[in-house]
Structure 1
């Protein structure tokens, strides 16, 4: 029997509204709240939250001395099309050169790593 149920994944960042807007454009859903805490309610999926973190230092990928802690895997039907969209929204590639793989690694506008994965 489970002890708990996952409530929300929270990403620290310098600008919660901006990062929530980035993920809303990638995943869909509605952005709720403002200020130091913003929620992204994703239809049929897990919600994400974004929390202001003064002095935020983004993780480096890959780097053991600046651990990424965790990352998001986002399933997509068309890697090339999804890549164009996330780059236009402000993501930057971290490890996207190998086109034969079924996944590519990017950083969101605040520097958190995420993967686009072929579904």
Structure 2
């Protein structure tokens, strides 16, 4: 990956109090293969209603999806190789100090690129790549409004954890985000990590997968009060439906990445 390029179970409560990295903002990169970069960028720009910034990076491989109001939290990166995927940027005051704490929780350091931004690239115990960065932001964008669909927003990222490594990976993210696990009563395979401190643009959901092994992955959740109309809008943009569940619909974007539209309020994350 380029640019922000990329055992035993633990008691999440005890891990959360052992180290205290302070995450003030969460943003995400859509890492897109070169052949799908333009298609994927156009799709997610239209889906969110966010404009695409001028390209940056040594080879024009980065861009930001810029909301009309509030601070940005979604970016795109053109990959040299590999399939489409997500990685997270966790915004902290001191990336180097937060790295020490992340390593104590079980992370692996992958890279510390030279340059003024001073970010650090790491991987969770289950192999999910994330960056610790020092950029500041504080204003969560409001939901976008569409004809026929009152509001929608990418409001959540789901960390999808294989069963064998679930306890270790959950403990890691609880400690890193200082989160309080809140399991779903109706669907116990899901738990939200409720974070203290300021509002962040992406809530974090943890999902225990049916498969036992393999790498940790992630997907976006888009909240809308009218899931049927929002799904039709996405289909017109080039998405395809994979499955329809009681409270969400699983779709695939034009680059092959899965994501969900949920019945949750895009501003609050509450189930309607």
Same fold (TM over 0.5): yes
**Cα distance in structure 1, aligned partners of 2:251 and 2:37:** 19
Normalised by the length of structure 2, the TM-score is 0.37
Report the aligned-residue RMSD: 2.8
1:12-34 deviation per Cα after TM superposition (whole angstroms, max 9, x unaligned): 10243432221121111211123
Residues 84 and 47 (structure 1), Cα distance of their counterparts in 2 relative to 1, 3 Å cut: same
Residues 80 and 13 (structure 1), Cα distance of their counterparts in 2 relative to 1, 3 Å cut: same
Could you tell me how far 1:45 is from its partner in structure 2? 6.3
SS for the counterpart of 1:3 is coil
Residues 117 and 84 (structure 1), Cα distance of their counterparts in 2 relative to 1, 3 Å cut: same
For residue 13 of structure 1, the aligned residue among 32, 51, 55 is 32
Could you tell me how far 1:108 is from its partner in structure 2? 1.4
1:91 and 2:117 are equivalent in the alignment? no
Give the aligned length.
115
Could you tell me how far 1:38 is from its partner in structure 2? 1.5
Query: Which runs of no fewer than 5 residues in structure 1 stay unpaired?
Result: none
Within 5 A, what are the aligned runs for 1:66-81? 69-81=217-229
**Cα distance in structure 1, aligned partners of 2:47 and 2:237:** 8
Within 5 A, what are the aligned runs for 1:40-59? 40-42=65-67, 43-44=69-70, 47-58=73-84
Runs of 4+ in structure 1 displaced over 6 angstroms?
none
User: Quick check: 1:20–1:49 contact (8 Å CA) kept in 2?
Assistant: no
Normalised by the length of structure 1, the TM-score is 0.77
